[in-house]
């Protein structure tokens, strides 16, 4: 594709989506970026505040299950690139209520694929980037090799099963209809604008308000952490140079046990935060009952992305955590309003009842 692009970014008001939109608008100011987001509890228009009013940026509040809206947006904006982030994304919520995950992640992705297929058939140019997760591959034992693009799917939570379902649909649209799709499967992200239900922001915020730090089970589960800016640069490379119909794994080469990660966050907070309610904040660590079906270990092998497209992560976990802690320290006005009644009710359901 030559010239400037016209992107539809679904879920662009969420954590990774909004980081991606900021990244893209800065890197490619001539491109048009249209964000479609339903503004669920996880979507936050403030994440995009600095872009509001800019000529090449538009925000549309709407649902990816709304076919008429999708048809009109794709046509009216003459979209050539879909970056599909919109999803229900939290495992614990999928355990409490899987219905929304099936609706958005599977039905929503299907609806978007159908709309894009029709749109693409008339223009024969474009790309549909489907942003997915390493959780579709299931759980690894300590000595297992990291997930590659050919690891069989074995999702264990309603969240990962719904993402796996959406991945299969995307794959089928490429093989059956020739729709130009690419799938990326990424490891755990962290960084600015992440909703406080996820491990890292939850721990940062609990430290700042002096609340206990709930570590599930024995705290020995392992995740492969990727700084969100590195995820965005990987998606940039995939959109510009990825091969249609392919899947690319994106990982941070940063496998860390949960308890070690929480200890690292405590150390950083002790060093960086003035007047903590509890010092040292390690005193706040509390082991709580394990998540049902809790995957033991994720690890991503992103050799394909490195060798074929030349991408590697640039931020170490030490540096990324420091940046993230500093961000939550200086953005109390962003996260305080998120600790709403709805959030407290959710918190109670997961951690107390
Ligand atoms: P998030 O929960 O922070 O944001 C999701 C966004 O999607 C929100 O803005 C929400 O309002 C929007 N949304 C939800 N349902 C919608 C619907 N029906 N129509 C339109 N918009 C809707 O999620 P995230 O962490 O930014 O994840 C983004 C994508 O990346 C997801 O597809 C997720 O599966 C994938 N992913 C996330 C991680 C991670 O560590 N967070 C890792 C790998 C892959
Ligand atoms: P999370 O951020 O929910 O991501 P995912 O489940 O998609 O990997 O959790 C990361 C890890 O941290 C996971 O092993 C579960 C664990 N965890 C806790 O121990 N305590 C918590 O309060 C949360 C939210 C997660």
Q: Which ligand is nearest to the CA of 226?
A: 1
Helix (H, G, I), strand (E, B) or coil at 68: helix
Active site residue 159: yes
Cα–Cα distances in angstroms (integers) from residue 62 to residues 34, 55, 90, 109, 117, in the given order? 12, 20, 20, 14, 20
Active site residue 270: no
DSSP codes joined into one string, 182-243: EEEEE--EESTT--TTSHHHHHHHHHHHT--EEEETTS--EEE-EEHHHHHHHHHHHHHHPP
Q: What is the pLDDT of residue 1?
A: 65
Specify whether the CB–CB gap between 328 and 201 falls below 8 A. yes
Alpha-carbon gap, residue 269 to 273, rounded angstroms: 5
Nearest to 89 by CA among 159, 140, 138: 159
Rounded to an integer, the average pLDDT of 92-113 is 98
pTM of the full predicted structure?
A: 0.98
Specify whether the CB–CB gap between 312 and 252 falls below 8 A. no
Is the distance from the beta carbon of residue 104 to the nearest atom of ligand 1 less than 6 Å?
yes
Q: What is the pLDDT of residue 148?
A: 98
Q: How far is the CA of 203 from the centre of ligand 2 (A)?
A: 10
- Residue-wise pLDDT for 76-93, tens only, equals 999 999 999 999 999 999
Q: From the alpha carbon of 189, which atom of ligand 1 is closest?
A: 40
Q: Which ligand is nearest to the CA of 251?
A: 1
CA 219 from chain center: how many Å?
22
Q: From the alpha carbon of 195, which atom of ligand 1 is closest?
A: 3
Alpha-carbon gap, residue 48 to 35, rounded angstroms: 10
Domains of the chain: 6-194+225-253+293-314 (3.40.50.720)
Q: What is the pLDDT of residue 353?
A: 78
Q: How far is the CA of 299 from the centre of ligand 2 (A)?
A: 15
- Residue-wise pLDDT for 33-81, tens only, equals 999 999 999 999 999 999 999 999 999 999 999 999 999 999 999 999 9
Q: From the alpha carbon of 89, which atom of ligand 2 is closest?
A: 7
Whether residue 345 has pLDDT greater than 80: yes
- Residue-wise pLDDT for 109-162, tens only, equals 999 999 999 999 998 899 999 999 999 999 999 999 999 999 999 999 999 999
Q: What is the pLDDT of residue 336?
A: 98
Specify whether the CB–CB gap between 199 and 222 falls below 8 A. no
Q: What is the pLDDT of residue 2?
A: 60
Q: How far is the CA of 89 from the centre of ligand 1 (A)?
A: 5
Residues 25, 27, 29, CA angle at the centre, nearest 5°?
A: 50
Q: How far is the CA of 74 from the centre of ligand 2 (A)?
A: 36
Q: Kindly report the protein residue whose alpha carbon is nearest to atom 25 of ligand 2.
A: 199
- Residue-wise pLDDT for 242-301, tens only, equals 999 999 999 988 999 999 999 999 999 999 998 999 999 999 999 999 999 999 999 999
Q: State the pairing for strand pair 222-224/255-257.
A: antiparallel
Rounded to an integer, the average pLDDT of 210-238 is 98
- Residue-wise pLDDT for 164-223, tens only, equals 999 999 999 999 999 999 999 999 999 999 999 999 999 999 999 999 999 999 999 999
Q: What is the pLDDT of residue 154?
A: 98
Q: Which ligand is nearest to the CA of 206?
A: 2
| CB neighbour list of residue 226: distance below 8 Å, 6 or more residues apart | 186, 187, 188, 189, 190, 250, 251, 252, 254, 313
Whether residue 100 has pLDDT greater than 90: yes
Active site residue 135: yes
Specify whether the CB–CB gap between 159 and 89 falls below 8 A. yes
């Amino acid at each position: 594709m030559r010239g400037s692009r016209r992107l539809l970014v679904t879920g662009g008001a969420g954590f990774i989506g909004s980081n991606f939109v900021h990244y893209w608008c800065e890197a490619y100011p001539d491109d048009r970026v249209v964000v479609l987001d339903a503004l669920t509890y996880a979507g936050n228009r403030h994440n995009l505040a600095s872009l509001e009013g800019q000529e090449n940026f538009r925000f549309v509040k709407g649902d990816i299950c709304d076919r008429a809206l999708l048809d009109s947006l794709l046509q009216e904006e003459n979209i050539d690139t879909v970056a599909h982030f919109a999803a229900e994304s939290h495992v614990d919520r999928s355990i409490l209520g899987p219905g929304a995950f099936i609706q958005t992640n599977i039905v929503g992705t299907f609806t978007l694929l159908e709309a894009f297929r029709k749109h693409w058939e008339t223009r024969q140019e474009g790309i549909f980037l489907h942003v997915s997760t390493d959780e579709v591959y299931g759980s690894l034992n300590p000595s297992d090799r990291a997930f590659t693009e050919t690891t069989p799917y074995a999702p264990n939570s309603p969240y990962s099963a719904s993402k796996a379902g959406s991945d299969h649909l995307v794959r089928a649209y490429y093989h059956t209809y020739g729709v130009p799709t690419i799938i990326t499967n990424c490891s755990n992200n962290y960084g600015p604008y992440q909703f406080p239900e996820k491990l890292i922001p939850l721990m940062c915020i609990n430290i700042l308000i002096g609340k206990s730090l709930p570590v599930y089970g024995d705290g020995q589960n392992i995740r492969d952490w990727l700084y969100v800016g590195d995820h965005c640069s990987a998606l940039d490379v995939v959109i510009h140079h990825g091969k249609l119909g392919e899947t690319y794994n994106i990982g941070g080469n940063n496998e860390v046990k949960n308890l070690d990660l929480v200890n690292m966050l405590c150390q950083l907070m002790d060093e960086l935060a003035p007047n903590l309610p509890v010092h040292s904040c390690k005193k706040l660590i509390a082991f709580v009952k394990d998540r049902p079906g809790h995957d033991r270990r994720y690890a991503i092998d992103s050799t394909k992305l490195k060798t074929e497209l030349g991408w590697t992560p640039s931020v170490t976990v030490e540096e990324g955590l420091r940046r993230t802690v500093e961000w939550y320290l200086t953005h109390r006005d962003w996260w305080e309003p998120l600790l709403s009644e709805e959030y407290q009710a959710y918190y109670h359901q997961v951690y107390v009842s």
